Each structure stands twice: as C-alpha cells, then as structure tokens.
Amino acid sequence: MTNKLTYPCRLLWAGLVVLLALGVGAHASNVRDLDPKLQRIVACMIRTAKRLPGVDHVRLTLTDSQSVFNGGPSWLHPLVSYRATERPGDGYVVTFDAARSGVPGNYEYSFSANLPGLALPGQRPSDWKSGDVIGLWRSRCRAEASAVFN
C-alpha cells in the first residue's frame, strides 16, 4: 500500500521539477543580465533605501517589458519597490520603474514612480518617503529619480 501512495507522489514531484526547469528556468532573468552600470546603481539604491527609517520591504524585481513612463521597446529592466509607513498601521508600496534616458554618461537611466494624489481638503498628499529616498539616491547612488502624483 505504501508503494502505491508514494509512486504517484514521486511522479507528481518529478513532473513539477520538469515543469519548473522548462517553464521558469528557461525564462528566468538574473540581475547579472543587466548592464553593469545599472547593476551598480540598483544595488546602491536598494542598500540606501533599506537604511531609511519608515521604509521596509525593499524589493528588486526584473521585468522584460516596456518602461511605464517612456514606453518604447520591451527591455530587461529593474523595478525597485519599498513599503513606506508614516504612522503605525498605514503603509503604501512605492515602485520605481527604470527607463533609458538615451543620454550616455551619468544619467543613462532614470527611475520614476506614480504616487496617489488624493488628500483631504487643505492637506498635501503624502509622498510616502519618496522625497527622502530620491534625495539619497541622487546623492549616494548618482541615480536620477522622480515621483509624480496621479
């Protein structure tokens, strides 16, 4: 009886391993696939964001798509995101999408984020720490970044 139960489990496990190897492994991207300059910038951005009070869950995601802000052809590029909290119990995930500027030199790449622009009358909307993050990225990482309210 034990052999009959373990054989289907083994078969399912082997099938899952094959599917993962063919489906995910063949298309998975690695940070090393990025331009070395972009790798250095992103590594600095992540290190810097992790040290900022009120910022946590800093993540790097790679995507092979168009940049949200400037469109153009699909390309492998990073999305850098973090969760910002301003008061206990609140939080918002901010995601910066990389774009190619087309200008060789210091700012070949730029990073942009969309922020919610809703606020109570007479109050400014929260920038969810993006002003602090962008300032540090510019000074420490030589990364051009911006955030816009929608």
pLDDT at 71: 63
In this prediction, residues 44-63 reach a mean pLDDT of 95
Residues 6-31: tens digit of each pLDDT: 444 343 333 333 223 333 333 357 88
Indicate the SS3 state at residue 11.
Answer: helix
Cα separations (Å) of 145 from 26, 103, 107?
32, 15, 10
Residues 79-132: tens digit of each pLDDT: 999 999 877 778 899 999 998 876 666 668 999 999 988 888 888 888 999 999
> Residue 59 pairs with which residues in a beta bridge?
81
Burial group, residue 62, by CB count within 10 angstroms (0-12, 13-18, 19+): middle
CB 107 within 8 A of CB 120: no
Q: Which of 99, 107, 92 minimizes the C-alpha distance to 137?
A: 107
- The one-letter amino acid code at 28 reads A
Question: pTM for this one?
Answer: 0.74
Cα 7 from Cα 148, distance rounded (Å)? 56
E strand map for the chain: 55-67, 71-84, 92-100, 109-115, 144-149
Crossing angle between the packed helical segments 130-141 and 36-50, to the nearest 10 degrees: 130
Can you say how many angstroms the Cα of residue 136 is from the centroid of all Cα atoms in its chain?
17
